[in-house]
Amino acid sequence: MDIRLVHWSTKYSVKVSLLDDQHRVLFELINELHGAMLDGNGRQVAPSILKRLLDYTRTHFFDEEALMVRTNYHEFSDHRAAHEKLIEELRRLCGDFERGEKYLSTKLLGFLRHWLRSHILDMDKRYAKHMNEAGVH
């Protein structure tokens, strides 16, 4: 039985191997959090998974933005602003969880799932052709 919350497929590919690989890791981290919740270990392991998710998201956004700058992507400012908003929301959720103000819930997992899927399918897909035409694959 497949218990993953989010499933990677080619529809999420931005045709840039580094970024596709990083997106897959983000999917895995959300699935790891979901699996821990299903196993009843969410409370114990969620802080470390959420921290890894936040740290890896920062790394991914840094790499993605560097490629946007390198290729002179015309929507860079808007994309970076969306990244900053997402990082702030993740940081807030992690802090709330650590202080006991938020608990692992389907709402939290739903937010993470929606954020990842919609960000890739909307904003990230818009740079794919641009980066490929600039020689980034």
Residue type (1 letter), 15:
K
Question: What is residue 96's predicted lDDT score, i.e. its pLDDT?
Answer: 77
pLDDT digits (tens, 9 = 90+) for 93-104: 878 777 776 666
Q: Where are the domains of the chain?
A: 10-133
DSSP state of 119: I
Is pTM beyond 0.75? Reply is: yes
Three state DSSP letters for 72-110: CCCCHHHHHHHHHHHHHHHHHHHHHHHCCCCCCCHHHHH
DSSP, collapsed to helix, strand or coil, labels residue 9 as coil
pLDDT digits (tens, 9 = 90+) for 2-32: 789 999 999 999 999 999 999 999 999 999 9
pLDDT digits (tens, 9 = 90+) for 35-82: 988 888 877 888 888 889 999 999 999 999 999 999 999 999 999 999
Question: What is residue 68's predicted lDDT score, i.e. its pLDDT?
Answer: 98
What's the CA gap between 137 and 117, in Å, rounded?
21
The residue among 10, 5, 15 whose CA lies nearest residue 104 is 5
> Does CATH place domain 10-133 in 1.10.8.60?
no
Residue 1, pLDDT > 70, answer no
